[in-house]
A and B are shown apart, each in its own frame.
Chain A
């Protein structure tokens, strides 16, 4: 179902009225515009995003990925959106782009180099959050303890790379996918600008309740990703980043997990990006 421009504008008003919008979150987070949206996930493209339509739908912030910062930043400014966060998960693919605990030393260094550059850009453009995730354990020659130690070392390294916060987020099919593990790693890193993000779809895939995961993370939690996952018994567990309401995400749980925090819609819907993003906000605002 595609939404008309008129419906989008109406929706923006509804969100503000429900206090799930920029006003509410600006108060909670000292100014990070919210809701944000990740146009790379949404469209499946690194460029050519419908940012004006997204702004009309009520979005105020943008979340980018590290490989499209320059162009994305320009596009955001042109559309009156502020880059709030950089989600590095697509850049954290072991073997390909690398990971924070890669057993191949040169690849981990190269990953850190790229993320440090992203943080430099973020510092210059006022983007608040770099979101990263643990990796899978290497197939051979790496214990879970080794992987964790490398992850902690990498996070400490990134913490010194700029003023932005580095937020560790649990991700499915990786070594640490539960909120308690993320909390423990953040505590071990013990850097003031290293904290946690919570991805509601990932939380479902890990078998956790979003609300409980948010509670576990407590004050460490700074940012939330909103999308849905289908965790029905017998169906494959896929990180499909669906529109909320199409999977297993409960609205009440989602609202409780987000609370007053800034959040980004990280839905994937190349066929109908604006409609999917708008439906996500509408779903959140309902009831």
Chain B
């Protein structure tokens, strides 16, 4: 891609997702939560359940919630954990359930993600059970809480579906559409039980589908635990939010694959007595919980929480509003939580995450990472169909953007939950049904997977390029009429084992790969080719300032380099791939993607985010060091010089004119505000 085809001062979308501005919002039967519903500020959640006078399961349905006021006081007044209540469902069936709702309404608290619905669990157990909310209960909650009722929990059900139900579909889907249909049926049932008034606490990579169903109010994820890599995952969640007009939240779990962090007795030894590990050193580490707070906040989460563990068993005397009270002590989790809330209050102008590049794949893809918690098998889409080459392409491109992302949940060291971001943490994922206005947010769109560029999608992408967008694809994705957009004509298939790349005099070696023979039309530019002159990468600048970049290699990948049979997935070991992303693809694509970042980072690999506000001379840069070694490097805004740099963690100014040199402690995060001597970007309206 010629550098000249990328604007010198980029146009960046900084407008936050406002669901009520999306077409059709007024007529939606289930409206996504709006920023107005949340009082236009970050909300936080802590209380996870109410106390009953007896076990609901033993009470024949005659039980009451007790200590309602005291419980709410503890979590929202004695400790300012926030205004969002996140309870388990049985209170809905207590004799005095109205009292709970009335009290929440009187205190103007939020009711969020009522949890523990579990398919096939008998209702009478009042635990992990199926329950159906009556019209009476649902209508009462809505009438009393209005927009402050944020929905019932679609909690980790995508993982449950993939792990427990997808394989039971007989016969297994033969087409992706059938895979989607089976998935949809499961969630239609769940939605119907819960008044189609849901919040999605994702555990896998299906947030778009929940948003598309039209019965969800928010999207989020149970991060950490043994679940997917967060930078990759939130690229999907943010993309779904932007595509469908729905806000997202952040949550970090105290669980990992082996057990849960329990700091209630900080000096206790860990134990596996309950059948899993539990104790101060079990579960998610404090450093990961801390990093997740800041990363998820800077991703634009409108509601934040830690799953549990804020309060200890011991008590201490404290003065609250002039009264002495005996209260539980704060644990390290509680302290970090309070600190995180205070930090957000002190820095309300965090801006929007800069995500100039969208990765786009087919709506029916059903893509999931090559391995995850819910199955011991690998390389599946929809939980019951094997990866095709395009799915491997998605995986391998993501491995370049988020190195080691498939390790999340598989390593004791927690590697993979957060990763370095060589091209910046600056990508969202869209699906092929994204409307024109969703595409228009992005400076660049990379088409991945088994996506066919034809018909309506071709029309939308052509319009996108004509309005100045930059489009990247591979020849195998060209459908009827698409070649012309890329300035080529597609011919027969051929094979090669090398490539000539820019700025390098000799052929570079590649694993053998198939490619489409291309002839390029006037105006197109050849960026890589075979020794015999066959084009491998063709760029075309469009009059509008937009451009296209086409890779001839099939899905940008080699032919299979090994059999899937020889790719084990084991704990504390990486997983390889039966394909390789070609070297000439890396040589052209990755620099192209890095060009959209507004900062340059020099130093060892690190995760970095850039947040923007309306002030075009201001950048907020988050550096998350996911390594156990201190990170030392420099941050340099592209273009203008630095007038002032302020470390938001320490409150100290950082010296430097063209760039700042700084350190980030091991497994920690630093956020720096840059004020520049000129605009770093123009606001895209």
| Chain A residues at the B interface, C-beta cutoff of 8 Å | 41, 44, 89-90, 93-96, 102-105, 133, 136, 138-142, 171-174, 227, 232-241, 266, 268-271
Is B378 an interface residue, CB under 8 A from the partner?
Answer: yes
Is B600 an interface residue, CB under 8 A from the partner?
Answer: no
| Chain B residues at the A interface, C-beta cutoff of 8 Å | 118-123, 125, 127-130, 160, 164-165, 167-172, 174-175, 178, 185-186, 189, 377-380, 384-386, 563-568
Q: A44-B174, A139-B121 are in contact. List 12 more A-B contacts (CB 8 A).
A: A95-B120, A96-B185, A136-B164, A234-B568, A238-B386, A239-B170, A239-B171, A239-B172, A240-B174, A241-B172, A266-B171, A269-B174
Give Cα A260 to B125, complex, Å.
Answer: 49
Interchain CB contact under 8 A, A268 and B119: no
Interchain CB contact under 8 A, A94 and B168: yes
Chain B residues lying within 8 Å of A93, measured Cβ to Cβ, are 165, 168-169
Interchain CB contact under 8 A, B122 and A236: no
Interchain CB contact under 8 A, A139 and B128: yes
Interchain CB contact under 8 A, B167 and A172: yes
User: 27 A-B pairs, CB-CB below 8 angstroms?
Assistant: A44-B174, A44-B175, A89-B170, A90-B169, A93-B168, A94-B165, A95-B119, A95-B130, A96-B189, A103-B120, A105-B122, A133-B170, A136-B168, A139-B164, A140-B121, A140-B128, A141-B122, A142-B120, A171-B168, A238-B384, A238-B385, A238-B386, A239-B167, A239-B169, A241-B170, A268-B172, A270-B178
Tell me, rounded to whole Å, the shortest Cβ–Cβ distance linking A66 to chain B.
Answer: 13
Which residue from A103, A235, A236, A237 sits with its C-beta under 8 Å from B121? A103
Chain B residues lying within 8 Å of A266, measured Cβ to Cβ, are 171
Interchain CB contact under 8 A, B120 and A233: no
Complex A-B, nearest 3 residue pairs according to Cβ-Cβ distance, in ascending order = A234-B565, A241-B171, A95-B119
Give Cα A138 to B118, complex, Å.
Answer: 10
Residue in chain A with minimal CB distance to B127: A140
Which residue from B123, B170, B174 sits with its C-beta under 8 Å from A270? B174
Give Cα A240 to B119, complex, Å.
Answer: 25
Which residue from A173, A227, A232, A234 sits with its C-beta under 8 Å from B168? A173
Give Cα A227 to B172, complex, Å.
Answer: 12
Which of A104, A142, A236, A239 neighbours the largest number of chain B CB atoms within 10 Å of its CB?
A236
Interchain CB contact under 8 A, B174 and A139: no
Interchain CB contact under 8 A, B121 and A138: yes
Which of B129, B165, B186 neighbours the largest number of chain A CB atoms within 10 Å of its CB?
B165
Tell me, rounded to whole Å, the shortest Cβ–Cβ distance linking A63 to chain B.
Answer: 13
Tell me, rounded to whole Å, the shortest Cβ–Cβ distance linking B312 to chain A.
Answer: 29
Interchain CB contact under 8 A, B171 and A240: yes
Residue in chain A with minimal CB distance to B378: A236
Give Cα A183 to B175, complex, Å.
Answer: 34
Residue in chain B with minimal CB distance to A87: B170
Give Cα A233 to B123, complex, Å.
Answer: 40
Interchain CB contact under 8 A, A95 and B189: yes
Which of B119, B189, B385 neighbours the largest number of chain A CB atoms within 10 Å of its CB?
B119
Interchain CB contact under 8 A, B189 and A104: no
Tell me, rounded to whole Å, the shortest Cβ–Cβ distance linking B313 to chain A.
Answer: 28
Give Cα A233 to B564, complex, Å.
Answer: 9
Tell me, rounded to whole Å, the shortest Cβ–Cβ distance linking B172 to chain A.
Answer: 5
Give Cα A232 to B170, complex, Å.
Answer: 20
Give Cα A142 to B380, complex, Å.
Answer: 29
Interchain CB contact under 8 A, A236 and B379: yes
Chain B residues lying within 8 Å of A41, measured Cβ to Cβ, are 171
Interchain CB contact under 8 A, A270 and B175: yes
Interchain CB contact under 8 A, A95 and B165: yes
Interchain CB contact under 8 A, B380 and A236: yes
Interchain CB contact under 8 A, A234 and B566: yes
Interchain CB contact under 8 A, B170 and A140: no
Which of B169, B185, B380 neighbours the largest number of chain A CB atoms within 10 Å of its CB?
B169
Tell me, rounded to whole Å, the shortest Cβ–Cβ distance linking B61 to chain A.
Answer: 16
Residue in chain A with minimal CB distance to B160: A139
Chain A residues lying within 8 Å of B164, measured Cβ to Cβ, are 136, 139
Which residue from B130, B169, B565 sits with its C-beta under 8 Å from A235? B565
Residue in chain B with minimal CB distance to A135: B168
